């Protein structure tokens, strides 16, 4: 993307957006005066209180700089080095983190499972959960990681989550949720954050915020508080304990305040729905898979892909299969951006 690309034409990811104005204001306010470092500031305490309200129970919270760190730290606190992490084969932890989970866990093994829409198939989980358990020759099944919303934009229903939670619990496994787009899932399902996490068995949640309005602030929400002390040591040791944590805290405090996180997510979801609605009507466009949140996969004719690229549109294509395209919307996407894209597709498809 050259610097002259109209930014309204970027649909490659929700991480190309900037930050919500409320977040910027909060950071500005946080910049004055002195504050105790390393999370001993008032802002960090406030984030914990807000999270406890939102999740309807006392939780601990660790602020981290990336979703990869949130995931890797969480997994390290839930599996021994000789353990395995059961996850979907298309999961971000398996494909897109350069082995961060293996690094943080000191070499645990990710066991990839199948399932539609990047959701773990319960039957595969059931088999893997007991595979070589207790046998020193194999890695020990230790933790299940689910992504909500999934990497392909689908959302686990509450029933689906509960099923995976039950299988995990029966096999004595811990449950981690990669919630890089957790807000989108909550907004999509109309279920409470509590129902979708600890009430379904989730021990640790990677609470993504950066893709949905903050600058560089994500968090781990700790439901199993016996893990908090270990996580604190691991975070420090990983270079994730920032001295001026007030700046991350300010972002998350504003993000959680007045339901900004859910409003942003609902907007991103609505933009994806609007896009789907528009594209469906165009001959030759074939939507693919579930589009429950802010990610939309579809098949486009080759001349459409080429036409969009010539227009300066930025998006992933031909990465999964020939002609398959991914569009991602965000809190910053406007209806105008979407309508322009739909029109462009229509024009090139004609």
Sheet containing 174-179: order of strands:
60-64, 218-222, 204-207, 174-179, 140-147, 83-88, 109-113
* Pair 327, 317: CB distance under 8 Å: no
The beta strands (E) that lie in 67-139 are given as 83-88, 109-113
Q: Which residues contact 161 (CB under 8 A, 6 or more apart)?
A: 146, 148, 196, 200, 201
Give min distance, CB of 14 to its own copies, in A.
9
Give min distance, CB of 67 to its own copies, in A.
8
Q: Which of 96, 81, 94, 101 minimizes the C-alpha distance to 120?
A: 94
DSSP code of residue 65? S
Q: What dihedral angle (degrees, nearest 10) is formed by the CA atoms of 186, 191, 192, 196?
A: -70
The SS3 of residue 126 is helix
27 makes contact with its own copies (CB under 8 A): yes
30 makes contact with its own copies (CB under 8 A): yes
Give min distance, CB of 82 to its own copies, in A.
4
233 makes contact with its own copies (CB under 8 A): yes
Identify the residue among 26, 64, 200, 308 touching its own copies (CB under 8 A). 64
With CB under 8 A as the contact rule, which of the stretches 194-202, 226-234, 262-270, 281-289 interacts with its own copies? Answer: 226-234
Site for its own copies in 292-331 (CB under 8 A): none
Number of H helices, E strands in the chain: 13, 11
DSSP code of residue 120? P
Look at strands 316-317 and 324-328 and give their pairing: antiparallel
Question: Residue 100 or 260: which CB sits closer to its own copies?
Answer: 100
Give min distance, CB of 303 to its own copies, in A.
26
Site for its own copies in 91-130 (CB under 8 A): 95-100, 102-110
228 makes contact with its own copies (CB under 8 A): no
* Cα R_g (the chain), whole angstroms: 20
Question: Residue 124 or 195: which CB sits closer to its own copies?
Answer: 124
240 makes contact with its own copies (CB under 8 A): yes
244 makes contact with its own copies (CB under 8 A): yes
- Binding string, 253-292, against its own copies, x = CB under 8 A? ----------------------------------------
Q: What dihedral angle (degrees, nearest 10) is formed by the CA atoms of 183, 184, 185, 187?
A: 80
Q: Which residues contact 179 (CB under 8 A, 6 or more apart)?
A: 147, 148, 185, 205, 206, 207, 208
Identify the residue among 33, 159, 281, 336 touching its own copies (CB under 8 A). 33
Give min distance, CB of 138 to its own copies, in A.
6
Give min distance, CB of 146 to its own copies, in A.
19
Give min distance, CB of 165 to its own copies, in A.
26
Question: Residue 196 or 241: which CB sits closer to its own copies?
Answer: 241
- Binding string, 168-197, against its own copies, x = CB under 8 A? ------------------------------
Give min distance, CB of 24 to its own copies, in A.
5
Give min distance, CB of 100 to its own copies, in A.
5
Round to whole Å and give the CA distance between 97 and 144: 17
Question: Residue 287 or 312: which CB sits closer to its own copies?
Answer: 312
End-to-end Cα, the chain, rounded Å: 26
336 makes contact with its own copies (CB under 8 A): no
The residue with tokens 């999270």 is: 51
Count the site residues for its own copies by CB under 8 A: 82
With CB under 8 A as the contact rule, which of the stretches 195-203, 230-238, 291-299, 341-349 interacts with its own copies? Answer: 230-238
Structure tokens at 33: 């005066």
């Amino acid at each position: 993307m050259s610097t002259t690309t109209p930014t309204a034409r970027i649909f490659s990811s929700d991480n190309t957006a900037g930050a919500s104005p409320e977040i910027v204001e909060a950071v500005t306010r946080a910049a004055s005066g002195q504050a105790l470092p390393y999370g001993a500031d008032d802002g960090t305490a406030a984030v914990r209180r807000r999270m406890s309200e939102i999740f309807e129970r006392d939780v601990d919270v660790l602020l981290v700089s990336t979703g990869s760190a949130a995931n890797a730290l969480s997994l390290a606190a839930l599996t021994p080095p000789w353990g395995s992490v059961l996850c979907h084969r298309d999961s971000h932890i398996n494909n897109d983190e350069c082995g961060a989970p293996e690094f943080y866990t000191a070499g645990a093994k990710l066991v990839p499972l199948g399932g539609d829409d990047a959701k773990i198939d319960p039957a595969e989980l059931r088999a893997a959960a007991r595979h070589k358990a207790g046998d020193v020759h194999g890695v020990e099944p230790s933790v299940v990681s689910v992504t909500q919303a999934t990497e392909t934009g689908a959302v686990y229903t509450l029933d689906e989550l509960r099923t995976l939670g039950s299988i995990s619990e029966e096999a004595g496994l811990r449950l981690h949720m990669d919630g890089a787009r957790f807000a989108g899932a909550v907004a999509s399902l109309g279920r409470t954050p509590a129902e979708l996490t600890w009430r379904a068995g989730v021990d640790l949640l990677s609470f993504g915020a950066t893709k949905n309005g903050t600058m560089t602030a994500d968090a781990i929400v700790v439901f199993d508080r016996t893990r908090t002390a270990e996580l604190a040591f691991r975070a420090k040791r990983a270079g994730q304990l920032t001295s001026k944590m007030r700046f991350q805290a300010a972002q998350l405090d504003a993000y959680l305040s007045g339901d900004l996180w859910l409003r942003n997510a609902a907007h991103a979801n609505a933009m994806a729905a609007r896009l789907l609605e528009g594209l469906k009507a165009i001959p030759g466009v074939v939507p693919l898979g579930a589009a429950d949140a802010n990610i939309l996969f579809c098949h486009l004719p080759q001349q459409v892909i080429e036409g969009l690229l010539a227009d300066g549109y930025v998006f992933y294509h031909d990465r999964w299969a020939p002609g398959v395209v991914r569009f991602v919307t965000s809190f910053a996407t406007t209806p105008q951006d979407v309508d322009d894209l739909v029109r462009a597709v229509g024009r090139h498809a004609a």
